[in-house]
Chains A and B, each alone.
Chain A
Amino acid sequence: MTSELNKLTIAEASAKLRAREITATQLTRDCLDRIAAAEPKLHAFLTVTEKEALEQARAADARLAAGNAPALCGIPLGIKDIYATKGVRTTCASRILENFVPPFDATVIERLRSDGAVFVGKTNMDEFAMGSSTENSAFGTTTNPHDTARVAGGSSGGSAAAVAAHECLASLGTDTGGSIREPASFCGVVGIKPTYSRVSRFGVIAFASSLDQVGPFTKSVRDASILMRTLAGRDVRDSTCSARPVPDYENALTGDVKGLRIGVPREYFVEGMQPEVEKSVRAALKNYKSLGASTVEISLPHTGYAIAAYYLLATAEASANLARYDGIRYGLRVNAEDNIALYETTRAHGFGPEVKRRIMLGTFALSAGYYDAYYLKAQKVRTLIRKDFEHAFEKCDLIITPVAPTTAFKIGEKMNDPLTMYLSDIFTISVNLAGLPGMAMPCGYDANNLPIGMQLIAPPFAEETILRAGDAFERTGAFKPRTPAV
C-alpha cells in the first residue's frame, strides 16, 4: 500500500511530523519510491542519495520526538547539482566535474542540514547552468512531467520536474537569467529568484557572479516562504551577501492585497506570444482587481535590449569563472605534453558545446580592442534597464508579467538555434540585470494541458510583497492544479 506522503506540501508535512502523525522516515521512503517509479521517464536526478536520506530521516525523527524541531526538520528536498554537498558527488552536469566530490557544504546546504532537512538527491540541469531546457546537461535531458516529449525548462529543469512530479516536497535551484522561473513555469510549480545578495552563494558553482542567485522550488507560496526564512541572510563567507535582517516571510501571507498597485508593462505583452499565455495572465490580473488591488499600465522601454546586454555580461563573467577548470587540482584531466596543451585538451574534452560557445563569446567580449564596444556597452545598457524598473516602481508596488512567451516547448525544437533558445528568457532576464526579486507561479493551462506561469516582480528586498500577492492568488482557488501525466 502506498501512502503517497510525497504529495504533501512542506506546511502540511511539517504539521503532521510535529504532531507525530507521520514520521520523516515514512515521508522520505514515499519520496524515494516515487523517484524509483518516475525517474526512468523523467531523469530529474543525476544522483539519488537513498542511504544518506534515510539516515537523515532517522535523525530527524529523533529530533522530532524530542520536540521543538524547526519547520524543515524531516522534509525531503532535491538539490540542484550546482551546490557543493559534502561527500556527495557534485557535477554541475558537466564532464569536467563528473567525479568531483566536494569536501564542504554550500552555506545554504549547511543551513538546511542544521534545520534537519533530508536530501534525497542532486538534480539535473544545463551544464554550468547555461541553458533554458536542461538539454545541455552532459548526462541527458530531463523531461516535463506534464508531457515527456517536452522540456522541463532550464537551467534548473531537474529541480522543477522533481517537485512537479512529487519526487520531493521542494527543491533548490539557481537563477542567472530565468533558470528558476522558466522551469517553474514550464512544470507548474512555484519558483523564486530572490533579490540579488539576499541569499548566500558560498559553495554554489559560479556562472555569472553579478547575476547568479539561489532560490527554492515549491508546491505553494507558503512553502516558498518557509524555505526563504532558512535560506536568506548574512554569510561571512560571501562578501556580496546582504546583512539585512530576514523577516518571517510567513507573516506576510495575510491574504490581503487591498490597495496593492500592480504594474503591467506593455512591452511584456507582445506579438508572437502564445495567446493562451496572455489570456491566462490577464485573467489573474482581473482576479487581483476583484480582491481590491488596482492595475496600472507601465513601460519598461529598454526591455528589447535585455537579452543582448545579458549575453555579453553573462558570457564575459562565465569566461572568467570557468577559467578555474584547468585539470590541475580537481576535475577531469586529459594529459598532454606541456601544461598549456593540458589545459586546452582538458577543457576541450570536459566542456559541452554550449559552454564552449559562451566561453568563446565572453572571452571575445573582454578581449583587447573589443571591451568598450561590447562589455562596457552592455554594462551601460544594464543601467538603463535598472532605471526602467526604478521609474516603474514609482507608480506601482508589484509588476506582473508572463514568465515566458510560450508554454514548454518540444525536446530538440530549439537546440540548433542558440539565439532562439536565448529568446525564451526574454521576460525573466531583465529581473537579473536589475537585481530584483521575481517569482514564477502557475496561473493556468493551455489547450495541450501544459502549465502557464505568471511572474511577480518587486523592488529590491520586497520579497514579502511578492509572497503576499502570490499567496492571495492561490487562496482565490482560480488556479486548479492538475495531476501531471508522469
Chain B
Amino acid sequence: MAETKITLEQVRHVARLARLELSASDEQRIRADMDEMLAYVDKLNELDTKDVAPTTQVGEAGTPMRDDEVTNRPDAEAMLANAPSRDRNYFKVPKIIE
C-alpha cells in the first residue's frame, strides 16, 4: 500500500477553505478519492520541468480595449428576482457585525 497523500485533518482544513460542510462519511470518501487522484498526478514528477515556462492562457495575448459605455440600464427588480431573501432593494443576509 502506497503512503497516504492526504490526511483526514488536511481534508477538514481544505473543506474549511472551500466553505464546504462535509459529513463524516463525506470526509472519508473524499479523502480516499483525493488520495487516489494525488497518487495518480504524481506521474507529472517523472517530467523535468525545471526550464519550462508555465502556460497560464492559450488564447491571444493582450486584453482588448472597448469604449466605457453603459449598455444595460439599472434594473433592481430583475437583479433581485433571484434573491433567496430580500428587503426592499437589498439582499438580506444574517447579521455579521455585533
A residues contacting B by CB (< 8 A) are: 99-101, 103-104, 196-197, 210, 234, 236, 239-240, 242-243, 302, 304-305, 307-309, 311-312, 319, 323, 326-333, 335-345, 347-348, 351, 353, 356-357, 359-361, 363-364, 367, 374, 376-384, 386, 418-419, 433-435
- In the complex, are the beta carbons of B56 and A364 less than 8 A apart? no
Chain B CB within 10 Å, residue with most, of A332, A364, A378? A364
Q: A356-B26, A367-B14 are in contact. Are A103 and B20 (CB under 8 A)?
A: no
Cβ A347 vs Cβ B19 within 8 A: yes
Give the contact-size bracket for chain B. 35 or more
Q: For residue B69, which residue of chain A has the nearest CB?
A: A236
When distances are taken between beta carbons in the complex, the residues of chain A under 8 Å from B57 are: 210, 240
Q: Is B8 an interface residue (CB 8 A)?
A: no
Beta-carbon contact of B94 and A361 below 8 Å: no
User: Can you list 5 A-B contacts with CB-CB less than 8 angstroms, sorted by A residue number?
Assistant: A234-B64, A331-B82, A377-B44, A378-B44, A383-B53
Cross-chain contact B91 with A379 (CB below 8 angstroms): no
> Interface on chain B toward A: helix, strand, loop, or mixed SS?
loop
Least Cβ distance of B42 to chain A in Å?
Answer: 8
Q: Could you tell me if B94 and A103 are in contact, using CB atoms closer than 8 angstroms?
A: no
Q: Which of B20, B40, B75, B96 sits near A359, CB closer than 8 Å?
A: B20
Q: Quick check: B20 and A308 within 8 Å, CB to CB?
A: no
* Most chain A CB inside 10 Å of its own CB: which residue of B18, B46, B56, B57: B18
Instruction: Give the secondary structure class of A's interface.
Output: helix
- Within the complex, the shortest CB–CB distance from B93 to chain A, in Å, comes to 6
Task: Say whether A384 contacts B63, CB under 8 Å.
Answer: no
Note all chain A residues with C-beta closer than 8 A to B11. Answer: 360
**Contact (Cβ within 8 A) B94 A377:** no
- Establish whether residues A329 and B91, one from each chain, have CB atoms under 8 Å apart when the complex forms: yes
* Complex interface residues of chain B between 1 and 30 (CB less than 8 A to chain A): 6, 10-11, 14-15, 17-23, 26, 29-30
Cross-chain contact B34 with A379 (CB below 8 angstroms): no
Given A103-B79, A348-B22, list of 10 further CB < 8 A pairs? A99-B82, A197-B59, A240-B59, A311-B37, A328-B84, A330-B84, A343-B19, A361-B34, A381-B49, A383-B53
Residue of B38, B52, B93 near A383 (CB, 8 A) is B52
CB distance from B73 to the nearest CB of A (A): 12
Q: Are B83 and A330 in contact (CB under 8 A)?
A: yes
On whether the beta carbons of A418 and B33 are closer than 8 Å, the reply is: yes
Contact between A339 and B20, CB atoms less than 8 A apart? no
On whether the beta carbons of A326 and B19 are closer than 8 Å, the reply is yes
CB of A367 within 8 A of CB of B17, answer: yes
Residues from chain B with a CB closer than 8 A to the CB of A382 are: 54-55
Using Cβ atoms and an 8 Å threshold, which residues of chain B touch A240?
Answer: 57, 59
Do B47 and A435 have beta carbons less than 8 Å apart? no
Question: Given contacts A239-B63, A380-B49, is CB(A210)–CB(B56) below 8 Å?
Answer: yes
The CA-CA distance from A361 to B14 in the complex, in Å, is 9
* Complexed CA–CA distance, A434 and B21 (Å): 35
Bound CA span A431–B40, Å: 21
Do A360 and B19 touch across chains, with their CB atoms under 8 A apart? no
Q: Which of B21, B60, B72, B94 contacts A348 (CB 8 A)?
A: B21
Is B49 within 8 A of A377, CB to CB? yes
Assuming the contacts A383-B55, A418-B37, asked whether A360 and B94 have C-beta atoms less than 8 A apart, the reply is: no
Closest Cβ neighbor of A330 among chain B residues: B82
Give the chain B neighbours of A323 by CB distance below 8 A: 19
Contacts of A345 in B (CB 8 A): 21
The answer to whether A361 and B37 touch (CB under 8 A), given A240-B59, A305-B44, A379-B54, is yes
Q: Are A242 and B59 in contact (CB under 8 A)?
A: yes
Residues of A with C-beta under 8 A to B56: 210, 379
Cβ-defined contact, A333 with B84, below 8 A: yes
Q: A364 to B82, Cβ gap below 8 A?
A: no
Known contacts A308-B40, A309-B44, A381-B44: A356-B20 contact under CB 8 Å: yes
Complex CA gap A343/B93 in Å reads: 11
